[in-house]
Structure 1
Amino acid sequence: MTYTTSTAFLEALGEAGVRYLFANLGSDHPGLIEAYARARADGGASAFPELVVCPHESVAFSAAQGYAQVSGEPQAVLVHVECGTQNIGGMLHNAAKGRVPVLVFAGASPVTQEGELPGGRNEFIQWIQDVHDQRGIVRGYTKYDNEIRTGHNVKQLVFRALQIARSEPAGPVYLMGAREVMESGIPRQETDPAWFAPVEPAALAPSTVELIAEALAGAENPVIVTSYLGRDPEAVPALVRLCELAAVPVIQSVPMWFNFPSGHPLHWGFQWNTTGPNPLLAAADVVLVLGSDVPWIPSENRPDAAARLFVVDVDPVKEQMPLWHVPAECFARADLRTAVNQLADALRGRVDRSAVADRGVRAAGEHRAYQDAVAERERTNGERITVEFLLACVREAIDDETLVLTEAISGYQAVCDHIHRRLPGSLIGSGGGSLGWAAGASIGAKLAAPERMVVSIVGDGSYLFGVPSSAQWVARRYHAPSLTIVLDNRGWKSPKLSTLGVHPEGMAARNDDFNVSFEPEADLPGIAAAAGGAWGRTTRVASDVERDLDEALKAVRNGRSAVLSVHLDRV
């Protein structure tokens, strides 16, 4: 058969706008491999997504996620039965928590064993890889899962899966199909992807607009808290307009996106695992949360109990989080750009201009104090390299168009404070808590924006989690060079900080016994050089940082990936 379920499946991805299929191939994929080969032989391969071969599934998935985060368009991942499905687990978590649309297809062990159908079992592994509920492996993390049981409606299933993936709150979806089904010949399939558009953006109800606008207009010390409003880059200038209209400052809590210009006088900085109260948040009488999973940590830095709280979000009550609560008087589900524009329109002509002017002056003063404190931390004495000094050097070495991927973990706060991004979409994180995302995401980001420099800032733990040998090989093969800067403290700092947070005077603290050292030290750049032909260097003294950054960036501009491992104080 020359037109099979596999052919129709790949056509459907192409018709839906999927440009890349990031693949880790296995014994369940002969139908797809044959479909690609036939298409290339017949000159019709352009109808299919380009196949990107990835030697590890986590790299394939994070590359698809990175592409979707930069372009806004979901990409697809191909993995091998239940084994490959489990290998994407951590990256699937990131896309689910980060609300990023990705389609995963996994084959399944053949369903016949006596030669009844083409594609039936003929390898021992197909009995071992047959499990009761393969889709159940991912069901806690996907918006939709289904099995392709016939090729006669395969395009409908693909388009429906992508429709659900793209509808807010967005997220990953999962399809699977047995080998016999994917091998079966079918009539040519014609289904219009335009019938499967994502759900249109939702707006706030007029009464909700009135309630929140009235609260903001009457507040003495309003504050907006956001984490991921910048998932939609066009929501950022809308937020700036709203804030300037009423002189409302912004605090970014646990941000993995660019949400607000860090140099704007209404920007009041970032908070991550901040211990102790945030005095600016504590002084607020009205707090508007616009897209945040963790707007504050209740035991450490919650707003004053008398403050009026409002939550507007594509996911306002976090149905997928078993324990979550913000004591707000209003929860509203809405597209953030739409909601912010509604609120700005409602506030026009309603605010007290004198009060707004006074508040703007006070807010700008707080912003200057924040900037001064940040600048002070960037100074260095002697040859010791601090993370703040390093990030200041990175900031000066890159331009506004550079895409910065952050997976610095214990350095998340420092990256936000010192990189100073100005353009929407120029800073992204994984959106979740599973490490290793940046290695593959940098490939997807570069494929989505080949004209832009891509710089990943990671910890040494994150770097190793990313399967750098696989990721660097893929980057080389598919001409997707980027710079990876490793904040190398030779260990896991975050588990140490977590332990100190619970047992500040415990035995681990007394004896400095945390089991977090990565000694003996690995040659982190050497991994990239061996697997991907990357430029690599380890920087140990402050006077070498600027020179090494310059050489690394030149290598990337010349088409070669680079890894710069920078020695910080040991954990």
Structure 2
Amino acid sequence: MNQFTPHSASLGEAWGSDVVAQTIRALGYRYISLVPGASFRGLHDSLVNHLGNSDPKMIICLHEEHAVSIADGFSRVADEPMAVALHSNVGLMHATMTIFNAWCDRRPMLIIGATGPLDAHKRRPWIDWIHTSQDQASIIRPYIKWDNLPISAEAAVEAVLRGDQIARTAPYGPVYICLDAEMQESALDREVKVPAVDRFRPGAAPEASQADVRTTCDALRAARLPVLMFGRGARGQAEWDARVRLAEATGAVVLTTTHNASVFPTEHEAHILPPVGEKPNEEESRLIAEADLIVSFDWHDLAGFLSARLGSSQTQTPTAAKVVHCSLDRYVSNGWSMDHQSLPAVDLPVLSQPDRFVSLLLAEFADQEPLPKRYPANTPHWTLAPVSAPPTSFNAQVMAYTIAEFAKHNPITFARLSFGWPQRACRFRSPLDFLGKDGGGAVGTGPGHTIGAALALRDSGRITVGVIGDGDYLMGVNALWTAANMRIPMLMVVANNRSYYNDEVHQERMARQRGRPVENKWIGQRLSDPAVDLVAMAKAQGFTGEGPVESAEALREAFERGLSIVRAGGCHVIDAWIEPGY
């Protein structure tokens, strides 16, 4: 380990970047992930020599994308933002994809950027000029909540306070504060205060009116078949328990989705179907067709889900069921990003934080007898039963069911699940069992998300497991070094079909549509000549690893060994060679 030399007890001269660092600490940030760069060398020094590399502690990354995705993964568990530092315009350009992903995930994040001296007279030849941009935040403004370019230490304090406030205000999202290099590196000739931050905290999230609460409760009492659709929700156990109590009080059916983190016990009798995927299957379509009341708690694509059954948009052929939709998402919709999804037809729009709405509804049912269960007739509760497969078969489903068996007996948090993970392998018993997909549909985020989640769960007694595809792994593999460097225990299983197989499916569709050879779908997709040595890449980052494993039995044995390594504080990768196909 490298030796850290603390600064002297005497504070001595103060610098612009010192008060920025002090403000970040005062706001309670535990970590700041970064790839170092000269544009924020002043802040870097302040974090190390003024704050002692503690609160926040630096998390060194090998790529700016990973710095952001680790912060994203951390907030998925902690429900609080992490800080990120990005070097100038070039570091920001590297990070744009994962910033967009965090935006789509609605994850809070304080991103500190930097630029060369705004005063052109102060710029070093060449390098400061190419690392200085006019309106640097314009690169990402369509998918952040707010940005600022403070040019004094006092303004920087205010910017960090305001940015934190906005990031933590629902609906959550990343903010970007770009620091002038000269401001950071200027000695202060005056006192610059960091005020008591409690007076700059975000306010309580908006909540539903009593009229909306009563209208929804009346509808739940009167409905023949009410369905509660739980989408985005907090990680807290109290919020989890409240959702369960609401389902039990109302006798309603519950749906959840694999798009978002686990928000309801999938084995509960009200959760009659497994978590839904990207679009309704036949069972889910029948349920929605029969329902006469749908109450959505920030379902991420309500109109898309309902319209998939109808084969038309909600504006043209809306569902006949009465719909209550609780969400604050419209507050961050803009004209650039279409992540707001299609427009749902809603009878009662409720502008409230969804878990707060659950609490208000629950209060209306307090001290009352639970309503009768109104589940569809002849609908047995789903069970986690492995698909039948030949003994020699080892595909995505067999892999999933093999891993899911371990989750029955171990406190596992699935930071991510790979393409092809079957809905019936989703047994979630706590709010930390599964943390959701990558909201932006990106590739390369899985390693970072898993590391960030594992960081937040360190010393919790839970085992963080990321199950990701080989393409996701290969684009993000050097994020693993950060986990090894920080001694963050985690297990990663790579569902390795040696292909960008999702795109093989698309090419097959194109070939069939155009009457062309389906046999050519693999060209430009396969990663098998030569096969990439995924375990060697993990070992190069400081992990241990095993593979390829090519059967369910071999995976069971490898997974057990991997769990032992992680329980002992290690970082481990398993390369699972599955057959192509979902």
| TM-score, shorter chain, exceeding 0.5 | yes
CA contact (8 A) 1:483 1:556 kept: yes
Aligned partners of 2:580 and 2:567: how far apart in 1?
32
Aligned partners of 2:88 and 2:81: how far apart in 1?
21
Partner of 1:83: 90
CA contact (8 A) 1:401 1:423 kept: no
1:271 aligns with 2:273: no
Partner of 1:27: 38
Query: Structure 1 residue 500: deviation in Å?
Result: 5.5
Q: How does 1:465-504 map to 2 (within 5 A)?
A: 465-466=475-476, 468-469=477-478, 471-498=479-506
Query: Structure 1 residue 65: deviation in Å?
Result: 1.5
Aligned partners of 1:308 and 1:351: how far apart in 2?
24
Partner of 1:366: 379
Query: Structure 1 residue 318: deviation in Å?
Result: 6.4
1:545 aligns with 2:555: yes
Partner of 2:355: 337
Partner of 1:397: 406
Q: How does 1:101-500 map to 2 (within 5 A)?
A: 101-114=108-121, 120-186=122-188, 187-231=191-235, 233-267=237-271, 268-274=273-279, 277=282, 278-295=285-302, 296-297=304-305, 299-302=307-310, 305-315=319-329, 319-320=333-334, 322=338, 324-347=342-365, 353=371, 356-357=372-373, 359-360=374-375, 362=376, 366-368=379-381, 370-371=382-383, 374-377=384-387, 379-398=388-407, 399=409, 401-408=411-418, 410-412=419-421, 414=422, 416-429=423-436, 430-451=438-459, 452-466=462-476, 468-469=477-478, 471-498=479-506
Partner of 1:3: 14
* Bigger mean CA deviation after superposition, 419-428 or 166-175: 419-428
Distance verdict in 2 for CA 1:499–1:201, change over 3 Å: same
SS in 2 for 1:148: coil
Distance verdict in 2 for CA 1:29–1:234, change over 3 Å: same
Query: Structure 1 residue 562: deviation in Å?
Result: 0.9
Aligned partners of 2:82 and 2:292: how far apart in 1?
43
TM-score of the aligned structures, taking structure 2 as reference length = 0.88
Aligned partners of 1:234 and 1:400: how far apart in 2?
22
Distance verdict in 2 for CA 1:376–1:504, change over 3 Å: farther
Q: How does 1:66-77 map to 2 (within 5 A)?
A: 66-77=73-84
Partner of 1:117: none
Aligned partners of 2:332 and 2:161: how far apart in 1?
26
Distance verdict in 2 for CA 1:193–1:502, change over 3 Å: farther
Aligned partners of 1:546 and 1:48: how far apart in 2?
40
Distance verdict in 2 for CA 1:549–1:45, change over 3 Å: same
Aligned partners of 1:2 and 1:36: how far apart in 2?
15
CA contact (8 A) 2:102 2:173 kept: yes
The aligned amino acid for 1:18 is Y
Partner of 2:61: 54
Give unpaired runs (5+ residues) of structure 1: 115-119
SS in 1 for 2:471: helix
Query: Structure 1 residue 229: deviation in Å?
Result: 2.3
The aligned amino acid for 1:474 is T
Query: Structure 1 residue 422: deviation in Å?
Result: 0.5
1:94 aligns with 2:108: no
Aligned partners of 1:37 and 1:273: how far apart in 2?
45
Aligned partners of 1:233 and 1:441: how far apart in 2?
21
* Identical counterparts, % of pairs: 23
CA contact (8 A) 2:251 2:370 kept: no
SS in 2 for 1:168: coil
Aligned partners of 1:231 and 1:333: how far apart in 2?
21
Distance verdict in 2 for CA 1:37–1:285, change over 3 Å: closer
Distance verdict in 2 for CA 1:84–1:208, change over 3 Å: same
CA contact (8 A) 2:39 2:88 kept: yes
SS in 1 for 2:274: strand
Query: Structure 1 residue 425: deviation in Å?
Result: 2.4
TM-score of the aligned structures, taking structure 1 as reference length = 0.90
CA contact (8 A) 1:102 1:173 kept: yes
CA contact (8 A) 2:465 2:493 kept: yes
The aligned amino acid for 1:556 is V
Distance verdict in 2 for CA 1:395–1:254, change over 3 Å: closer
Aligned partners of 2:497 and 2:228: how far apart in 1?
35
**Aligned-residue CA RMSD (Å):** 2.5
The aligned amino acid for 1:234 is A
The aligned amino acid for 2:126 is F
SS in 1 for 2:405: helix
CA contact (8 A) 2:544 2:573 kept: yes
* Bigger mean CA deviation after superposition, 11-20 or 437-446: 437-446
Aligned partners of 1:463 and 1:189: how far apart in 2?
45
CA contact (8 A) 1:224 1:251 kept: yes
Distance verdict in 2 for CA 1:253–1:443, change over 3 Å: closer
